[in-house]
Structure 1
Amino acid sequence: MTVEDWAEIRRLSRVEGMAIKAIARRLGVSRNAVRRALAREGLLHV
């Protein structure tokens, strides 16, 4: 996963309010990859 992917995940989550599943589908990555990206930024509260 590239730095741009990480930035796009954060943007889609924060700005667009998009769900993890929708982000994963749009970027072609796993839901767990999206969760990891958001958890690193402190955006995912598990």
Structure 2
Amino acid sequence: MIVQNSVDVEFHQVRFSFRGVKFHLRNFRIKFRIEFRPLNYKDNSDFTC
């Protein structure tokens, strides 16, 4: 769980610079939930920010 979370954080930072800060913030949240739902559906409660 911790390893996957770290990987996502790194990817988020990379795309964060490529896209817009405010604009990507919203997109990042939407994609973060959709991509993490099927992967860690059971651990979704812990992943909720």
TM range (shorter): 0.3 to 0.5
Q: TM-score, normalization: structure 2?
A: 0.35
Q: TM-score, normalization: structure 1?
A: 0.36
Q: Between Structure 1 and Structure 2, which shows a larger proportion of helix residues?
A: 2
Higher relative contact order (CA 8 A, sep 6+): 1
Which structure has the larger Rg? Answer: 2
